[in-house]
Amino acid sequence: MTTLRLGTYNLLNGGGDRFYAQAEFLGRQNLDVLCLQEAKRWDEDGHARMRAFADHLGMQALFAPSNSHRCHLVTLFRWPRVCCTSFRPDVAEGQFHHAVSRADLTVSGPEIQVLNTHLSPFSGSSRAREADWLTEYAAPGRRAVLAGELNVQGLADDERPDWDALPRHLHSRHRLQHSDGSYGGSDRLAMAKLVHAKFTDPVTALGIPVAHTAGYWNPTELWDHRSDHIRLAPGLACSLTRYEVLDTDRTRSLSDHLPVIVTLTLPQERRAACTRT
């Protein structure tokens, strides 16, 4: 058996002056695969920031341009322990607000597919449409990981107790709207589609409390909730051994989102020799 540590993290506007502290912190987490969102300006100067970040972590980087606000995606993997056999920067062919990339990786065993995405921040109906592109990866036996900022709570998460604390002009981003135009609870249709398709929630699978990943940074949206997720397709669900949200004063100072990490235990099988991507 072989252990794989996979994380997801939203950098917040490319990291800004927090960039090096983020790289230093994540470099200590012993990650094999890391999915990053909001890699703004990481494409400039020959992808200088991306290369510096990858070099600090001792990893290889795969870049996926975003369709909006330059909130690019970067997937990093630890070569040669992890090998990339193919990479598609946007498997949804421009249909996402941002993008969804797919890296086909081998880790001392069968290939796994890592989907890195950042769902629409502005509309639950948009997120639900984006989820339609993702459900196929939860087919029986499929060895896929869905990671990223999904901008939606898990079905197991607590409901927001007081919507009056959130400005009314932001309700359309987060709340379910009824046919008469009134608003109800949080809009989780996108998540419901993923769960129905059989993407596993590590929190539910391990029977552990929900840990919040966002909602502590922006004074106009102070709402501790889970927005960042790692979900496992049926072929990988039984490999899950650990789930972590790194919630400390330090991580809360580095971004408006917290790092999320899963540990998987995979069967070790013979694989073909791999080459550097």
Q: What is the pLDDT of residues 172-213, one digit of tens each?
A: 999 999 999 999 999 999 999 999 999 999 999 999 999 999
The span from the CA of 141 to the CA of 198, in Å, is 11
* Domain annotation covers residue 174: no
Please give the mean pLDDT across all residues of the chain.
94
Among residues 41, 71, 69, 65, the alpha carbon closest in space to that of 53 is found at 41
Q: What residue numbers bound the domain in which 25 lies? A: 2-158+181-266
* Domain annotation covers residue 276: no
The span from the CA of 199 to the CA of 233, in Å, is 5
**How crowded is residue 223: how many other Cβ atoms within 10 Å of its Cβ?**
20
Please report, for the domain that includes residue 104, its CATH number: 3.60.10.10
The span from the CA of 77 to the CA of 106, in Å, is 10
Q: How many domains, in total, are found in the chain?
A: 1
* Domain annotation covers residue 259: yes
* Domain annotation covers residue 241: yes
pLDDT in tens, 127-159: 999 999 999 999 999 999 999 999 999 998 988
Helix %, strand %, coil % of the chain (to 5): 30, 30, 40
* Domain annotation covers residue 85: yes
Identity at 139, one-letter amino acid code: A
What is the pLDDT, as a whole number, of residue 272? 47
* Domain annotation covers residue 274: no
Average pLDDT on 155-164 reads 84
Q: Parallel, antiparallel, or unpaired: how do β-strands 175-177 and 240-245 relate?
A: unpaired
pLDDT in tens, 61-103: 999 999 999 999 999 999 999 999 999 999 999 999 999 999 9
* Domain annotation covers residue 131: yes
* Domain annotation covers residue 172: no
